[in-house]
Amino acid sequence: MNGAHALLKTLTHNNVTTCFANPGTSEMHFVAGLDDVSEMRGILCLFEGVATGAADGYARVTGRPAATLLHLGPGLANGWANLHNARRARVPLLNIVGDHATYHTQYDSPLQSDIAAIASSLKGWQRSTQSPNEVAQDAADAVSAAYGPPGRIATLVLPANVSWGEVTNEPNEWPLASRVSLAEPDEHLIGQSINVLRTKKAALLVGGDAVTGERLALAQRVAHATGARLIMETFPTIMDRGAGVVSPERLIYLSEFAIPQLQDLEALILIGSTAPVGFFAHPDVKSRLTSDQCEVIDLAPPGCDTSAALRALVDGLEAPVVASPSGEGPGVPHGELTSQSLAAAVAATIPEGLIIADESITGGIHLYGATQFSLPHRLMTLSGGSIGFGLPSAVGAAVGSGQRVLALEADGSMMYTLQALWTMARESLDVTVVGLSNRSYAILTLERQRVGAVTDGLASQRMLELDNPTIDLCALASAQGVPSTRVTTTDELVSALQRSYATPGPMFIEAVLPKGLT
């Protein structure tokens, strides 16, 4: 038995059974070990950013880590952007990064790099294993670290000679990862929160794991009993959505509108979320979104038991049960295809249990409101703001859940991790991709205005347009084995979505929207 076998045995013993991989020479013994450890499913990704994004999506739907297999420092660097999203989503994720043999590093060969420096920027856990006999315990420690709480990125570096080296002290039992319980909410902060809910104009700001259907129902009881507002963070990791699920007010992305949204609050109670700040700095706009007079109580920070915090508020306030929200399901739209009719088409066709990976950017601005009374589903969003999230996270969500996944993907963002389509086809994943083609970086047109970089010059405008040449999204999908179709009306989109949901395997729908902001 070699070190790679010990790693695979330990991971599968700890229920880490999926590895999204883009391997190289240093990882070949791990790859070979897949033939001997059938419990591990290896899934090939054609770019490291697809592997890391898929591991993020997998963790969001399952609550447990997948592994990535990355090739040295450049491989980790290529996957870093979607690791940033996973870090911001606070999900458990485990990187296995191959390295040069320990005796080879002194020669500074071309792929030699500072892996530790790259991994440390993720503010998680990292370790380099130095002996085949240490692999099993190091792997268990990595899984423990990934779980947190809160979930975080764990990076285990495996030098090539540790991977191929013989394990001389094979354990009788493969080590189990230790699990740390969620922190209990502070009793003083519970009392303080109850007091401000009774005496001040207050709101609950929920996020993280506090946006499941059960916890949203508890939060609604608190809000109903006290007259408080119920607000959710702008970009939740994964939330329950649809008919029968409480639909919180969503914190507005644009600071200019979020500040007025929160300005009247005298108190804000954070549950699974962090204090709201602007996504970017803008001239003459505050970074902090609440007023300076607003009392902010961090009742249940990430890593704390949000269910216990909400139940403590419900009990302390003797908040009665509130009827589940009800309303008429969305009707099927017709006519011209715009961002508004696109949202209506998505909402009207959602099958129960669907998972939506939303990276629609400006094209999906109406989605949240439109889906309030759709059939029950789950929504994943771009928690870290690093584009290229939608397609890979859809891969991971489909693998982890076995459910149909809908990826709503802006054309500019899609080009970052297009290779995920190939993995969808190879693994026959039930993923429907709607590529929103508005032939521009529309969000940057908006941001250019917001920061005051206003100009009529053609040179700057050319940096924000994607129509010279126009990208043939359908051709790109078809080239990677995903059946594709192009739609230009709402009726065509509804039909294509319904057909996709009824057909096993992936499908790509290019939705042609008016150019720019719609």
pLDDT, tens digit (0-9, with 9 covering 90-100), for 111-146: 999 999 999 999 999 999 999 999 999 999 999 999
| Residue segments in the chain with a per-residue pLDDT below the cut of 50 | none
pLDDT computed for residue 362 by the predictor: 83
pLDDT computed for residue 20 by the predictor: 98
- Per-residue exposure over 288-298, b if at least 16 CB sit within 10 Å of its own CB, e if not: ebbeeebebbb
Q: The domain 339-512 belongs to what CATH superfamily?
A: Thiamin diphosphate (ThDP)-binding fold, Pyr/PP domains (3.40.50.970)
> Which phi and psi angles does 291 have, rounded to 5°?
-70, 160
Domains 3-164 and 187-317 share a fold: yes
Domain ranges of the chain: 3-164, 187-317, 339-512
Rounded distance between C-alpha atoms, residue 127 and residue 133, angstroms = 15
Q: Is 137 exposed, middle or buried (0-12, 13-18, 19+ CB in 10 A)?
A: middle
Fold classified for 3-164: Rossmann fold (3.40.50)
Q: Any idea of the CA torsion for 491, 497, 501, 505, to the nearest 10 degrees?
A: 140
pLDDT computed for residue 517 by the predictor: 58
pLDDT, tens digit (0-9, with 9 covering 90-100), for 212-253: 999 999 999 999 999 999 999 999 999 999 999 999 999 999
Q: The domain 187-317 belongs to what CATH superfamily?
A: TPP-binding domain (3.40.50.1220)
Rounded distance between C-alpha atoms, residue 352 and residue 250, angstroms = 23
pLDDT computed for residue 451 by the predictor: 80
Distances in Å between the alpha carbon of 516 and those of 357, 442, 475? 22, 5, 22
End-to-end CA, the chain: 59
